[in-house]
């Protein structure tokens, strides 16, 4: 498949060949949802903690005798219902990480790429480069490409001048192609990929060298 290729001044400079295996599949929504939940879960630190009745400070003496006072029975000042007492069934440090097979993770990213391309939210440029970090240059580039709203710029390699030019703009994020993920692709209104970043993505998400994609292969992974 082909897509229009622009430069950073917003001018159409040609076409780019795209892999149907990355940008032309039927998005697998359940797999994308699973990948998104996994990514969010793996980002949790799990350092929350509370102290139970055996961990808080306080005397172990029984407050008053069991019978004859007319009051409710009380055994400890550290009971959960008392001020300063322990927390009943509170959270403790734990891991939230989830596993997901590599093929499913890659299918989720390919589905997200296909969904964004199919909705017309993806734009391809030959290159974006600035001589010096300058926010107004990035604003001029986005305006030339007629982009508004949250924008994700996918790069093939680190570019300090470009990344620093985008850092001060709310809603604009730069991301290396090898770190493509479902959340970043779906939560931005626009996705801009430089031509070299497409090659990087196809290098690790595409078919192995010499392999031929057919309908049966796609059905197996889906």
Q: What is the pLDDT of residues 136-153, one digit of tens each?
A: 999 999 999 999 899 999
Q: What is the pLDDT of residues 83-99, one digit of tens each?
A: 999 999 999 999 999 99
Distance CA 184, CA 39 (A): 11
21 with 106, same domain? yes
34 and 109 share one domain: yes
The mean pLDDT value for 103-113 works out to 95
Q: Domain check: are 183 and 138 in the same one? A: yes
How many whole angstroms separate alpha carbon 143 and alpha carbon 188? 17
d(CA 28, CA 15): 27
Reduced to 3 states, what is the DSSP secondary structure of residue 123?
A: strand
Same domain, 65 and 39: no
The pLDDT assigned to 68 comes to 94
Check which CATH number belongs to the domain holding 127 and give it.
3.40.1370.10
CA angle 38, 181, 9 (to 5 degrees): 160
Mean pLDDT along residues 159-168? 93
Name the residue range of residue 124's domain.
Answer: 2-43+100-221
In which region does residue 10 sit, left (phi positive, over 0), alpha (psi from -120 to 50) or beta (all else)?
left
Please give the tally of structural domains in the chain.
Answer: 2
Per residue in 13-47, pLDDT tens? 999 999 999 999 999 999 999 999 999 999 999 99
Same domain, 126 and 199: yes
172 with 133, same domain?
yes
The answer on 179 and 77 residing in a single domain is no
Does residue 208 lie in a domain region? yes
Predicted TM-score (pTM) of the model is: 0.81
The per-residue pLDDT for range 47-83, each reduced to its tens digit, is 999 999 999 999 999 999 999 999 999 999 999 999 9
Would residue 17 count as lying in a domain? yes
Cβ(124)–Cβ(6) below 8 Å: yes
Q: What is the pLDDT of residue 211?
A: 57
Q: Indicate whether 49 belongs to any domain.
A: no
> How high is the pLDDT of residue 220?
37
Asked, for residue 48, whether it belongs to a domain, the answer is no
Same domain, 121 and 30: yes
């Amino acid at each position: 498949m082909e897509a229009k290729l622009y430069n950073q001044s917003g001018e159409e400079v040609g076409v780019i060949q795209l892999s149907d295996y990355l940008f032309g599949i039927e998005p697998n929504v359940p797999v994308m949802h699973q990948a998104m939940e996994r990514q969010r879960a793996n980002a949790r630190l799990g350092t929350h903690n509370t102290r139970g009745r055996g961990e808080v400070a306080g005397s172990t003496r029984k407050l008053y005798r069991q019978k004859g006072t007319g009051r409710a029975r009380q055994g400890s000042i550290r009971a959960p219902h008392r001020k300063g007492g322990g927390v009943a069934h509170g959270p403790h440090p734990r891991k939230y990480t989830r596993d997901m097979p590599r093929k499913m993770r890659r299918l989720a990213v390919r589905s997200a790429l296909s969904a964004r391309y199919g909705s017309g939210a993806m734009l391809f440029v030959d290159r974006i480069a600035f001589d010096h970090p300058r926010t107004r240059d990035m604003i001029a580039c986005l305006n030339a490409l007629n982009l508004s709203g949250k924008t994700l710029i996918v790069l093939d390699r680190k570019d300090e001048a470009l990344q620093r030019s985008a850092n001060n703009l709310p809603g604009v994020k730069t991301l290396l192609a090898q770190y493509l993920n479902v959340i970043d692709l779906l939560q931005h209104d626009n996705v801009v990929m430089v031509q070299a970043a497409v090659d990087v993505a196809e290098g690790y998400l595409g078919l192995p060298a010499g392999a031929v994609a057919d309908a049966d292969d796609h059905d197996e992974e889906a």
